[in-house]
Structure 1
Amino acid sequence: MLTRRETPADVSAARAVIAAAFAKPGTAGSPGSPGSPGSPDPVEATLLDALRTCDGWLPELSFVAVDEKDEVVGHVVCTRGHIDGVPALGLGPIGVRPDVQRQGTGLALVHSVLGAADALGEPLVALLGSPAYYGRYGFRPATELGILPPDPAWGDYFQVRTLTAYEPTLRGTFRYAEPFDHV
């Protein structure tokens, strides 16, 4: 498996991976289910579509994982967010094709996008996700650093991973790219 920046030729395959990764049983694209025509896309797939057309889209932080046949099997993206007006990044959606999950693809994607974000001089990456899962990447509850989630109910599930350019004076409320407001 190889992780690399997404190219224009990867866009539809990356969207398909996100749709499959988040499909509910019995819907189109879910593993082991024929689904039905016209089944709604998972919100993560429509979010990805909206992110691609917003001001917060950062093509240099959209990565795919490809297998030995150069087929896209995973996708991750970071988009422009802000902490009280200061630029930061929001991670997500991230997804791996169901038939290749639990083989390290997600791990490789997260490491790739974090490394690229660090190389670009970004201060931190925020996400909403499982503390047990994302803790292994160095994410920790954002409130420990004085960064508040967009929704206080998120609690410890709203996490940040600081990067080299992070300054401890960076505090305040995080805001994702605009399409997240409609999820």
Structure 2
Amino acid sequence: MSDTRFTRVETDADIPTVHTIHARAFETPAEADLVDALRADPSWIPGLSIVATDANDRPIGHALLTRCHIEDVPALALAPVAVLPEYQGTGVGSAAVRAALRAAEDLGEHHVVVLGHPAYYPRFGFTRASAHGIGLTIEVPDESLMALAFDADHPLPGGTVHYAAPFGI
């Protein structure tokens, strides 16, 4: 489905549409509000808010990476990821995530964590974070916290993930 494979960095003009994507993709506005809060937070990294668009360049999906730390080692948090309901299951989310991960690697980043569906994120190379000694300050299902290292020269560090303040954890 070629019209779901276009990705690019979010622009200021996309901000209202990105909010709508998250508001429609989730049952509550929490994720949409989180993206807005992260945009104003020091954890925001230009170039790591990625939209997937249709063939007319209209955003239909979004993936966001922001700064976090594993203990004192800089890393990125992949969250949230959202797709308009009518495009879910068509590869839009995967395209956005892959583009975001490529952009992060191109910026010289080394590690990414995600708290998400354990059947979805392994396709991008994520593995169970606990296998690397990585955890959170809150209780979550072990299989839901996953981590990724872009290269063997920078293995995942062990320790506690410290998210940006807007995450509230």
TM-score by length of 1: 0.85
1:115 aligns to 2:102 (yes or no): yes
Counterpart contact for 1:124–1:161, Cα < 8 Å: yes
**Map of 1:71 onto structure 2:** 58
Q: What displacement does 1:152 show?
A: 3.6
The CA deviation at 1:93 is 0.6
Residue 167 of structure 1 pairs with residue 154 of structure 2 = yes
What letter matches 2:147 in structure 1?
V
Match of 1:57 among 44, 49, 56: 44
Whole-angstrom CA distance in 2 between matches of 1:169 and 1:20: 34
Q: What residue in structure 1 maps to residue 20 of structure 2?
A: 16
The amino acid of 2:112's aligned partner reads: V
Letter in 2 for 1:52: R
| CA distance in 2: counterparts of 1:4 and 1:166, whole angstroms | 28
Query: Which range moves more in the overlay, 162-171 or 59-68?
Result: 162-171
Shift of 1:138: 1.1
Choose from 104, 116, 140 the match for 1:153.
140
Are the equivalent residues in 1 in contact too, given 2:52–2:96 (CA < 8 A)? yes
- Structure 2: gaps spanning 5 or more residues: none
Q: Which residue of 2 aligns with 1:176?
A: 163
Cα RMSD (Å) of the superposition? Answer: 1.6
> 1:122–1:165: 8 Å Cα contact kept in structure 2?
no
Q: How many residue pairs were aligned?
A: 165
Q: Secondary structure at the match of 2:109?
A: coil
- Matching residue's letter, 1:130: H
- Partner letter of residue 113 of structure 1? A
Cα shift at 1:164: 2.4
The one-letter code sitting in structure 2 at the alignment partner of 1:15 is H
The ranges of structure 1 where at least 4 consecutive aligned residues each deviate by more than 6 angstroms after the TM superposition are none
- In the alignment, the residues of structure 2 paired with residue 102 and residue 176 of structure 1 have an alpha-carbon distance, to the nearest angstrom, of 28
Contact 1:6/1:59 (<8 A) preserved: no
Provide the rounded CA distance (Å) in 2 between the counterparts of 1:42 and 1:166. 39
Residue identity matched to 1:10 = D
Q: 2:127 aligns with which of 126, 130, 140?
A: 140
Q: Residue type matched to 1:95 in 2? A: A
Picking from 76, 89, 99, the partner of 2:76 is: 89
Aligned-pair CA distance for 1:59: 2.2
Conservation of the 8 A alpha-carbon contact between 2:148 and 2:156 = no
- In 1, are the aligned partners of 2:149 and 2:156 still within 8 Å (CA)? no
2: CA distance between counterparts of 1:172 and 1:6?
Answer: 31
The alpha carbon displacement at 1:123 in A equals: 1.4
